[in-house]
Amino acid sequence: MRVLSVASECAPLVKTGGLADVAGALPAALRAEGVEMRTLLPGYPAVMAALGHGAGQVAAEADLFGGPARLLAGHAAGLDLLVLDAPHLFAREGSIYLGPDGQDWPDNPERFAALSLMAARIGARGLTIDGAAWRPELIHCHDWQAGFVPDYLEREGGDCATVLTIHNIAFQGLTGHHMIERLGLPRSRFHADGFEYYGKLSALKAGLMRADRLTTVSPTYAAELMRPEFGMGLDGVMRARRRDLSGILNGIDETAWNPATDPHIAEGYRHPAGKAPNRDALRAEMGLPEAPGPLCCVVSRLTEQKGLDLLLEALPALLDRGGQLALLGSGDRALEDAFRDAAREDNVAVRIGYDEALSHRLIAGSDAILVPSRFEPCGLTQLYGLRYGTIPVVALTGGLADTVINASPAALDRGVATGLQFHPVAKDPLAVALDRLCDLHAEPEVWAQMQANAMRQPVGWTSSARAYAALYRDAIAAA
């Protein structure tokens, strides 16, 4: 199968969140399933630098939303890339979505409409790459930034199948309806069964209404999206399309996150006993003293979605039992300041910012990882925790519910528990879970069993790649 993956970010080239990890991991994971995937990315400075001088031009546009553009084909980071080199849209330093003022770039609608339009033209016309014809049988669209692909594909006369993956329905690509003509879209589609969203134009809704198949990144999140409290105003759309919706769990890169070979940590390990030297090294690095309770970590964006305001309120339940917290993250300024204040406690250490190597050391050296998200489409940090025998404490939502086996009495009796879940997502249930964590940590045999279970849990892409390939085949057959 020939598949074009369309994404606004892709690890390791450019990343702001889990979307990039998925876009970067899928091509290699799907190769074993007989899928030939090329990834279409915007030509941001980092992507252009990684592409280097070996790329060849395979298409050109004289005027793509305000300036000329080239489509380049090349290779970087083990990926077969198609890169939309449109300097007037993408040659900007800093955040790929936000300007220097911290607000969305005002031309984001045009920037990602251009990406969608180029994908549609590839689907309709095909390309000649290295002297060989190449046209996708299916276009895999990721999030709102590729939401207009199905509409443009119809306009361009393309007949390939389309799949849209929702990584986070909270981001919908909204803009004023005055942009419809500017983006080359039919005003006849500006209605409730098209791309109209409460008087605005929604790129995500456009894709949700027109893609042949829909996916999201966990089975539980797929079910949650049909409920008003999770659907962000699109729950009706999700209910209407429930037969076309699949929840396929994300996986992690098991090479980059391998405790036996991880170059970032104090000592590689294949079993929980290897955690002790990493814990000692982490405490020294973060300035934490020895303590009898569990050392817990957070590696996260600091936002309300992630429930970290609740963690601040529930933190005494951990500290009063001799537990500790080491946090790495950035985001909401008020939360950053609140965690800095919390770090005045001897048993709390905080680093504001992002540091990939430190994130590995935190997860390898901590006893537990805390993920108290109000909603979480899939989540990756709990999977990293499982891989390293770092017990996840998670809210019962989305992919967190699908990947962690709660330490209920039945699960402990059967010897299968891998972590702790709490519900509802509020201060008191989280405090109870932290207290329970300390109880389990004080039982060495139970704790060691949970760590061993966690490290055996499958967290890679094998089964998910199989599910994506089956979905692609189904969509192509039906198109």
C-alpha span between 398 and 384 (Å, rounded): 17
Instruction: Give me 151's structure tokens.
Output: 């509409």
Residue 64 structure tokens: 């793509």
What is the β-pairing status of strands 295-302 and 213-216?
Answer: unpaired
Residue 226, number of CB atoms within 10 A of its CB: 18
Contact between 368 and 392 under an 8 Å Cβ cutoff? The reply is yes
Report the alpha-carbon distance of residue 94 to residue 98 in Å, rounded: 8
Q: Sort strands 69-76 and 348-352 into parallel, antiparallel or unpaired.
A: unpaired
- In angstroms, the CA 145 to CA 20 distance is 13
Element (H, E) at 449: helix 444-456
> What gap in Å lies between CA 402 and CA 423, rounded to an integer?
14
- Closest-CA residue to 123 (of 147, 140, 144, 143): 140
Burial class (CB in 10 A: 0-12, 13-18, 19+), 223: middle
Q: Exposure string (b/e) for 390-419, b if CB count within 10 Å is 16 or more?
A: bbbbbbebbbbbbbbbbbeeebbeeebbbb
Angle, vertex CA 170, rays to CA 168 and CA 174, nearest 5: 115
Question: What is the b/e burial string over 151-173, where b = at least 16 CB atoms within 10 angstroms of the residue's CB?
Answer: bbbebeebebbbbbbbbbbebbb
Annotated binding residue at 15?
yes
Question: In the numeric block, which tokens belong to residue 220?
Answer: 């539980």
With tokens 């061993």, the residue in question is 452
Q: Which residues belong to the annotated binding site? A: 15
- Residue numbers in the known binding site for ADP-alpha-D-glucose are 15
